[in-house]
Chains A and B, each alone.
Chain A
């Protein structure tokens, strides 16, 4: 069988079937949840796999208002913006210092920061709780934000130092001879050159912060301050018998992120895998 000059071999056919099967496995849970979100409780019991018999839009409002998803969304956004901006800004200045400056005990200090990349969150949280309590930052979004920035700095510094070290040194020296200050060299020359690395880091830190659970669970106890993941965990406990409502909560959390992901797919995949590969 020959079509447009390309032969469809048996191996190709089998391969396509296998891939389509996995495509189904990856996507089906989402489709089921999104359709369950618009069903009534009795509809869901008799009809797990089909589309809703009558579409229940009331679940949206119920999850958004009574279920506090509006609050959780707002808190997630309030946290993610300063964490991503702060972690990247401080990682840039750190990386700059390590890549170009003469610093006392540079290797030791750098090693100390690198250590942070392998320290699991579990080791940090036990005492962070009491530490934040003493500083008056427990149960505040500022405490959560500062702790997240601290946890992100090691990887950001390591990643960007690698990027900055790849640039030719002569570039910086030439600018210095022209009378540029170290700040101008950083902001006008190096940061624009590193923009693709910085873009990857933005994606990486965004997903990392947006999805963080354990730290937030420990630091935040007020429902009005919870971010989406922790809010979701408590939400499903509150409405344990109402599967369609829980499915609606899950849909509110997944649909916007998946739309964003599909729009920015190229950056997301390369940003997140770059993060994993460098670690």
Chain B
């Protein structure tokens, strides 16, 4: 608190805090904001503008209006990629969430020992670079002397041996299984920590009423995890829409377009086919899909919290 004189020279007690000075606040904000604007926001705005243009990367840009977006709606590869992304949602969001939930529940209801060991081991694939994961799994799926085919031969199922990533009927699912392997431990860890917040007295109450594990699951465990289930699902849903590393390293989108995903299609159009405008329209479409999901879920969540 300090005393200052105002313009008319009257002494007045000032309650002005240092934190009321907009200049000082801006000084703290400026460095971070500048880097964000320069390296993220400007490129994003430029990409949005570019989505209405045609440009090979060199020479002049040509304004084409909505042509890129119209082309997109008639592009079978775009729809194929979108469908592939939808299949990956099954492998990267649905399966890991269900598996993670099942495993966390098994540990919780049986009060198993070695909880830390399971957590550490199941979470391990998630912390690693997806590139190295993809390299490891490429070897597992390798048609000549790959782990999976050797394993099948060992257990007498040699007839099932195939080129898992080279066969268009199995390629996408094979990439998907790798995604499941990476993510189920992550889901499980979050569900386990959600279970930690349930007071044991609630389980005891079910036991006193003569309820078994199924009752504990249905009346106590699952209802308390609604929030975690929602968070994990949305997070993994968006991750599956953004799948790039796994596909790029394992199949490059092939065979044909069997494993082509949106993100890879953006990359190919921009950096291989030199169709920057079209790539921009694809990328903006991907961004709009993600925005729509984020906004819907945020609305749903606040609706749910209010009605709790």
Contact = CB atoms under 8 A, between A and B. Distances in A.
Instruction: State whether these chains interact.
Output: yes
Interface of A: 9, 11-12, 15-16, 18-19, 22-23, 25-27, 29-30, 32-33, 36, 44-45, 48-49, 90-91, 93-94, 96-98, 100-104, 109, 112-113, 116, 118-131, 146-147, 149-151, 153-154, 157, 172-173, 176-177, 181-182, 207, 210-211, 213-214, 217-218, 228-230, 232-233, 236, 243, 246-247, 249-250, 253-254, 257-258, 261-262, 265, 268-269, 272-273, 276-277, 279
Contact of A100 (B19, B130, B294): B19
A263 B252 CA distance: 35
A18 B127 CA distance: 23
Contacts of A214: 244-245, 263, 267
Contacts of A90: 31-32, 35
Contact of A131 (B43, B123, B145, B287): B43
A268 B127 contact: yes
Contacts of B24: 101, 182
Given A118-B290, A147-B39, A213 B32 contact: no
Contacts of B138: 236
18 contacts: A26-B125, A94-B29, A97-B28, A101-B19, A101-B25, A104-B26, A121-B242, A124-B40, A127-B43, A153-B32, A153-B36, A157-B32, A182-B28, A213-B245, A230-B131, A236-B138, A246-B139, A265-B116
Contacts of A229: 129-132, 245
Interface of B: 1, 17-22, 24-26, 28-29, 31-33, 35-36, 38-44, 46-48, 50, 57, 103, 106-107, 110, 112, 114, 116-132, 135-140, 142, 145, 147, 150-151, 154, 181, 185-186, 189-190, 193, 213, 231-232, 235, 241-242, 244-245, 248-249, 262-263, 266-267, 270-271, 276, 279-280, 282-284, 286-287, 290-291, 294
A122 B283 contact: yes
B103 A22 contact: yes
B142 A243 contact: yes
Contacts of A207: 127
Contacts of B123: 269
A211 B129 contact: yes
A149 B39 CA distance: 9
Contact of A250 (B130, B135, B147, B267): B135
A24 B46 CA distance: 48
